[in-house]
């Protein structure tokens, strides 16, 4: 729990951080809007007291209502992991600026987020599918992606009545209503 990091972040990025800087365990978390991402990253990457030089992860998250891009950074000056949640990406056309200007290695991570969620990264020179075949039409990790045989609702749930212990007693569940939404996260 790096209190100094929290104060540094609030001092340098207070205007773009949405809400408070949350800290739990060894992680510090800030939430920003997509348009602010390049500025935030430049600040945390280059500022003398906060040199977060290692990009640990770039992931997409589908919260049911919106999409998020979550970055994890590590730096020598702080004992915490910094988590940057870029939130508020609309579900129909999620766009986010690319971080490849700072970390060329994020190209593949962004390709993966595009492949799984459909998040378009502006500035990524190579935004094509990385895992699925190039002519695949859907984005698998979205919450409204269902396999036709009801598979993604439960791994062990079969089709026979005896294999459905917890399934709701509806004939044809409404896919829009059945999207799992995360509680205000």
| Residue number with CB closer to other proteins (11 or 165) | 165
Residue with tokens 């003398």: 48
Q: Does 161 bind other proteins (CB under 8 A)?
A: no
Q: Interacting stretch for other proteins, rule CB under 8 A, among 2-10, 11-19, 88-96, 98-106?
A: 98-106
| Residue number with CB closer to other proteins (15 or 149) | 149
Q: At what angle do helices 3-13 and 37-46 cross, to 10 degrees?
A: 130
Q: Which of residues 20, 151, 167, 178 is near other proteins by CB under 8 A?
A: 151
DSSP state string for 60-112: EEE-SSSEEEEEEEE-TT-SSEEEEEEEEE-SSS-EEE--TTT-TTHHHHHHH
Residue with tokens 């990790």: 141
Q: Which residues bind other proteins (CB under 8 A)?
A: 24-27, 29, 53-57, 59, 61-62, 70, 72, 74, 76, 79, 81, 83, 102-109, 112, 116, 125-135, 140-141, 145, 147, 151-155, 158-160, 180-183, 185
């Amino acid at each position: 729990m790096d209190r100094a990091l929290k104060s540094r972040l609030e001092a340098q990025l207070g205007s773009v951080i949405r809400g408070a800087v949350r800290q739990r365990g060894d992680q510090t978390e800030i939430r920003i809007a997509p348009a602010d991402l390049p500025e935030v990253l430049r600040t945390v990457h280059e500022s003398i007291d906060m040199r977060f030089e290692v990009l640990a992860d770039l992931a997409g998250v589908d919260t049911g209502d919106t999409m998020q891009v979550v970055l994890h950074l590590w730096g020598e000056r702080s004992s915490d992991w910094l988590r940057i949640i870029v939130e508020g990406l609309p579900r129909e056309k999620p766009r986010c600026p690319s971080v490849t200007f700072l970390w060329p290695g994020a190209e593949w991570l962004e390709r993966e987020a595009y492949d799984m969620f459909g998040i378009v990264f502006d500035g990524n020179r190579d935004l094509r599918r990385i895992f699925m075949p190039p002519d695949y039409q859907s984005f698998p990790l979205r919450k409204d992606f269902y396999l036709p045989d009801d598979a993604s609702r439960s791994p062990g749930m079969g089709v026979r009545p005896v294999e459905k212990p917890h399934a709701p007693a509806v004939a044809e569940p409404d896919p829009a209503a059945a999207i799992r939404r995360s509680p205000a996260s």
